[in-house]
Amino acid sequence: MNMTMAARALALALVMLGAAANAARTQERLELFDAHLHYNQEPNPFYPLAQVLEIFKRNGVTGIVATSRPNKGTHQLVDAKAPGLWVVPFIRPYRVRADIQTWFDDAATYDLIQTEYKRGYYRGIGEFHIYGDAAAGPLVKKIVDFAVEHDLYLHAHCDEAALLHLFAHSPRVKIIWAHTGFSTPPARVDALLEQFKDRLWGELSYRSGITDGTGKLTDEWRALFGRHSDRFMIGSDTWINERWFAYDGIFRTYRAWLAQLPADQAKRIANGNAERLFGPRPKG
């Protein structure tokens, strides 16, 4: 290679590096929406509300799906009216942690949901845990029908069998799949998104396989985001204190792989899909 060709190659490489750096800086400025947030209170939260709001602020999280066990924590997040934070409240069908095992067979669950709904601001029910044929039960159907009647989303932590039962209860039910099945093969996720268009979205906390051991997006997930970037959201799942301790790292990881996507795809996953589902975002 002669000197002229080498100079041109170097110039081109510098341009490409500059473009990549600019793209990365653009992605870093993305506002983020946490679609799986718990502010649990048994009996009190680990972090006071002011500290939680500061965690959101420093991570560029400008919106959350707020849930808690019991729902007192959600009330506090809504009532805080924190500047720059959009709170989208969901009804959690739990009073204490043990309800995870029994809520779908406990008539008191329906009463809890009805009572909470009267607050007038809820957009969904969940996150709730359910597996297999337990999702086929009459109380679950009653809750699905309530959600459909009141235009509420379900945030379901479930296996595929339970997911299919939930969809079978109503042709109009709308489900956010917590963790997108954890380890469900991407090809199967793709098929389910195609089968349940405008009814199924994937939330990505704890989801395995998105990146390889070096932090690079895997080919399967890059392709899946390319086909369905309008169907995914990110989340923290602060179900235990350790997830609060790790919050900064969780969102650094999201930003790192979002920066590897085209800007329009990254924007949808970072916050655009949440705004489309739950919006319009309140002004101010």
Is the pLDDT reported for residue 119 higher than 90?
yes
Residue type, 166: L
Confidence check: pLDDT of 8 > 60: no
Q: Which two tokens stand for residue 84?
A: 């720059």
Confidence band, pLDDT 50/70/90 cuts, at residue 6: very low
Q: Which is nearest to 190 in space by CA: 162, 233, 153, 223? A: 223
Q: What pLDDT was estimated at residue 37?
A: 98
Tell me the pTM: 0.90
Contacts of 83 (CB under 8 A, 6+ apart): 284
Binned at pLDDT 50, 70 and 90, residue 17 comes out as very low
**Which pLDDT value is given to residue 43?**
86
Please write the tens of the pLDDT for every residue from 22-65. Answer: 444 445 579 999 999 999 998 899 999 999 999 999 999 999 99
Structure confidence at residue 77 (pLDDT): 98
User: How many Cβ atoms are within 10 Å of 280's Cβ, its own excluded?
Assistant: 8
Inform me whether the pLDDT recorded for 19 exceeds 80. Answer: no
Answer whether residue 1 shows pLDDT above 50.
Answer: no
Sign for the pseudo-dihedral over CA of 126, 135, 240, 106: positive
User: Domains (ranges, CATH) in the chain?
Assistant: 30-278 (3.20.20.140)
Cβ burial of 79 (10 Å; 0-12, 13-18, 19+) is exposed
